[in-house]
A and B are shown apart, each in its own frame.
Chain A
Amino acid sequence: MCGRTACTLSPDDICKACGHSAAVDGGKGKRTSYPKWQNPPGGQKYYTSYNVAPGSHTPVLVSKKHFELDSPEEDVKKHEGEEVEEDDWVIQPMSWGLVPHWSSEPKTSGYSMINARHDGVLSKTTFKRPLEKGRRCVVLADGYYEWHTDSSKNKQAYFIYFPRSATSDVETVNVEQETPEWTGKRLMTFAGLFDIWRPKKGEEGAPLYSYSIITVDAHKELSWLHERMPAILDGESEIREWLDYGTVPLKKAMDLIRPTNSVTFHPVSSLVNDVKNKSEDCFKPVDLEKKKQSTKASANLMMSWLSKGQKRAPLDDPSVKEEDPSASKHAKKI
């Protein structure tokens, strides 16, 4: 499950961070191209946050073609006004939690489908239909949070993200520098699917774009942390294949959906547990060792205190009453 993310970059920075290579002059040259930001219809906005919960609008990368089909007039306008070659990708904030196009009222059905299990996306109509229409998207975030439950039901939150040092092809492409190259953090790129809900004919309201993040079994290196993980697309070529629904058939694109181990993580404060806490402290690393030491010191105190007590005789075995000293020594050591 993947139900909490951090998304802290401004729209401009997100576009910069998604710079990728694009062919120019019919494939003779290459340049870095940046997707265009477009706000969702209906006045919904994206707000940066260190603690993003489902229901929020967060940036999603999609193929530009979706909008050409949707609103041909707007597209024409674009071509008239701008001379610069348009990027193939568009970033638009969408609502986290898939609201299927057939649902009667977005409010009643939202929030529930924040994740789409890989094994179910091609069999469940809710997910299959959007995918058949090519509604594949890449959800952008700094990283996501996951909670690890230990044997004593203790929950520890971790922040999972792409290591900064790892150079992806998204970052390395650097030819004609119109905009300075992005040197900030590498954005996490989740494979997702989206749907568009539209108000009934004659009713007021704007269409609602919403998405679901596809989840897979956790990679074996990460399964200690949690049994599931989001499907992560690693690098520009994977992103391109996933977005380009026109040339990459669904079946082939589904090969990209698999557990990956290209991420890194660190434990974070329990502040993140409460979605109301939005501060930067949510994703700052914490020192678990210190906490462990403290628990250990308390446990030692408890055991030394208990060792002063009279050892209870097990009820079902009266012979243990005259206990040999070696056993009591053992009890002290625990």
Chain B
Amino acid sequence: MFEARLAQGTLLKKVLEAIKDLLNEATWDCNENGMSLQAMDSSHVSLVSLTLNAEGFEPYRCDRNCSLGINLASMSKIFKCASNEDSITIKAGDEGDTITYVFESPNGDKVSDYEMKLMDIETDHLGIPDTTYSCVVKLPAAEFQRICRDLSQIGESVTICCTKDGVRFSASGDLGSGNIKLAQNANVDKEDEAVTIEMQEACTLTFALRYLNFFCKATPLSPQVTLSMSNEVPLVVEYKIGEMGHVRYYLAPKIEDEADS
């Protein structure tokens, strides 16, 4: 028997919005520590790793470890039926092939439940290697979203160049080119607006903006986003989900030039 209730249901709605465009379906792994999900997009260029700790739920009950194969588009459709104030409960039996979502209004006057079929999904249980990153940039999530959106107007990919002075995002395309430079600014008053850079070694990497724009769907989850980079290693884009977990996106850099030559 699995049961997890989140009083602040809107958080789960946002989590779904953050992954449903990138992944068609995924397996949620549930154990006594919480719920997690790890899956690659269909082109195998990016990977999503999501963790929701048991402590964030009230109550959280997981008698037996289970893997729930879920069509995320369908799950998102059902979650759209929940109001932002509603609490959301996820329930699954040990043997059943369905999952149930219960939405409850704050005063308990309205209770809706939706049942959905589970899927059999083949999952490659790939591990993420421990990596030391040469640059770790923290910036306001909305700022990062804006940069990705703006540069998408210019080109299909963005080059992120990180030095000790700051981080530069550049794109070029048929109509011209654009550069956005952010300087380090540890604004103590407003932590959420700070841009901080921890750097061991400067690095320059190019990524497809299409995927970054998908990642930016997680912006409502967190005021800040963390970009971790090393040369020739996938970029990590991390959004914290309050105190209860995080969603991390991994994206392989573009290696167009090598492919062409």
The 4 closest A-B pairs by CB, nearest first: A309-B127, A152-B42, A309-B129, A302-B252
Is B256's CB under 8 angstroms from A294's CB? Answer: yes
Complex: A58 Cα to B140 Cα, angstroms: 46
Contacts of B188 in A (CB 8 A): none
Complex: A145 Cα to B125 Cα, angstroms: 41
Name 15 extra pairs, CB < 8 A, besides A311-B125, A316-B67: A153-B21, A293-B259, A293-B260, A294-B256, A295-B45, A297-B259, A299-B44, A301-B234, A302-B252, A306-B47, A311-B126, A312-B38, A312-B125, A314-B125, A315-B66
Number of interface residues of A (CB under 8 A): 34
From 99 to 136 in chain B, residues with beta carbon under 8 angstroms from any chain A beta carbon are 123-130
Is A303's CB under 8 angstroms from B67's CB? Answer: no
Q: Return B122 CB to nearest CB of chain A, in Å.
A: 11
Q: Return A310 CB to nearest CB of chain B, in Å.
A: 4
Complex: A61 Cα to B260 Cα, angstroms: 47
Counting CB contacts under 8 A, is B255 at the interface? yes
Q: A294-B254, A301-B252, A302-B252 are in contact. Are A334 and B174 (CB under 8 A)?
A: no
Is B128's CB under 8 angstroms from A152's CB? Answer: no
Contacts of B252 in A (CB 8 A): 298-299, 301-302, 305
Contacts of A299 in B (CB 8 A): 43-45, 252
Is A152's CB under 8 angstroms from B254's CB? Answer: no
| CB<8 Å pairs between A and B, sample of 21 | A151-B24, A152-B24, A152-B41, A152-B43, A154-B43, A154-B210, A281-B174, A294-B255, A295-B43, A296-B259, A299-B252, A302-B250, A303-B44, A305-B233, A309-B126, A311-B126, A312-B126, A314-B67, A316-B66, A334-B44, A334-B124
Seen from chain A, the residues whose Cβ lies within 8 Å of a Cβ on chain B are 151-154, 269-271, 281, 290, 293-299, 301-303, 305-316, 320, 331, 334
**Binary interface encoding of chain B residues 31-52 relative to chain A, with 1 for a CB under 8 A from any of its CBs, else 0:** 1000000101111111100000
Contacts of A315 in B (CB 8 A): 29-31, 65-67
Counting CB contacts under 8 A, is B208 at the interface? yes
Contacts of A312 in B (CB 8 A): 38, 125-127
Contacts of A316 in B (CB 8 A): 65-67
Counting CB contacts under 8 A, is B243 at the interface? no
Is B44's CB under 8 angstroms from A301's CB? Answer: no
| Chain B interface, DSSP helix/strand/loop, else mixed | loop
Q: Return B147 CB to nearest CB of chain A, in Å.
A: 19
Contacts of B127 in A (CB 8 A): 306, 309-312
Contacts of A269 in B (CB 8 A): 174
Counting CB contacts under 8 A, is B9 at the interface? no
Complex: A290 Cα to B258 Cα, angstroms: 12
Is A331's CB under 8 angstroms from B208's CB? Answer: no
Seen from chain B, the residues whose Cβ lies within 8 Å of a Cβ on chain A are 21, 24, 29-31, 38, 40-47, 65-67, 123-130, 156, 174, 208, 210, 232-234, 250, 252-256, 258-260
Complex: A320 Cα to B124 Cα, angstroms: 12
Out of A270, A271, A301, which one reaches B232, CB within 8 Å?
A301
Contacts of B65 in A (CB 8 A): 315-316
Out of A271, A309, A320, which one reaches B174, CB within 8 Å?
A271
Q: Return A255 CB to nearest CB of chain B, in Å.
A: 40
Contacts of B43 in A (CB 8 A): 152, 154, 295, 299
Complex: A301 Cα to B205 Cα, angstroms: 13
Complex: A331 Cα to B208 Cα, angstroms: 24
Considering only CB atoms, which chain A residue lies closest to B36 in the complex? A315
Contacts of A293 in B (CB 8 A): 259-260
Complex: A309 Cα to B234 Cα, angstroms: 13
Complex: A310 Cα to B40 Cα, angstroms: 16
Complex: A298 Cα to B82 Cα, angstroms: 38
Complex: A294 Cα to B252 Cα, angstroms: 11
Complex: A232 Cα to B128 Cα, angstroms: 53
Contacts of B174 in A (CB 8 A): 269, 271, 281
Contacts of A309 in B (CB 8 A): 126-130
Is B255's CB under 8 angstroms from A297's CB? Answer: yes
Contacts of A152 in B (CB 8 A): 24, 41-43
Q: Return A158 CB to nearest CB of chain B, in Å.
A: 18
Q: Return A286 CB to nearest CB of chain B, in Å.
A: 11
Contacts of A311 in B (CB 8 A): 125-127
Is A331's CB under 8 angstroms from B126's CB? Answer: yes
Considering only CB atoms, which chain A residue lies closest to B130 in the complex? A309
Q: Return A311 CB to nearest CB of chain B, in Å.
A: 5
Residue with the highest number of chain A CB atoms closer than 10 Å, among B31, B127, B234: B127
Complex: A46 Cα to B45 Cα, angstroms: 45
Considering only CB atoms, which chain A residue lies closest to B128 in the complex? A309
Complex: A301 Cα to B30 Cα, angstroms: 29
